[in-house]
Amino acid sequence: MRIFTASVIIAVVSLGTPAFVQAQGAPSQSEAQTPPAQSSAVIRSIQVVDLKELQPAVRSKVNDVVAQTSEEDLQSLRKSIDATPEAASALKAKGLSSLQVVAINIADGVLTLITKTA
């Protein structure tokens, strides 16, 4: 699979929990502790997870990150997803589109698209 490159700000939600990724420009409370905004990651697989499927503690943290994300940043994130055929195909296979993506996570070569449907 080819290299997926995106400009991101990583908001670390807690120690031991994967970092949730937002589009560049989104504010981050832990910005001083995070890597630079430019990030390259090799994506080996893509998974689509509905927000309701997450454990309550993780879901709450994702909701906090989403609440701080501007509509402009979400649009930028969704545009990046649409420009990545593999990500768009993974969503389409589940009957979804980038419009339902509220956050993403990149960890250990896995791109997780977190969706909200309803």
- Pairing label, strands 3-11, 20-23: antiparallel
Query: What would the two tokens of residue 56 be?
Result: 């309550």
Which residues are paired to 104 by β-bridges? Answer: 21, 113
pLDDT confidence of residue 83: 94
This prediction has a pTM of 0.67
Question: Cα–Cα–Cα angle for 56, 115, 24, nearest 5°?
Answer: 100
**Locus of tokens 């981050």:** 28
pLDDT attached to residue 43: 86
Identify the band that residue 8 occupies on the pLDDT scale cut at 50, 70 and 90.
very low
Site of tokens 């339902």: 100
> Tell me: the pLDDT tens digits for 65-107?
999 999 999 999 999 999 999 999 999 999 999 999 999 999 9
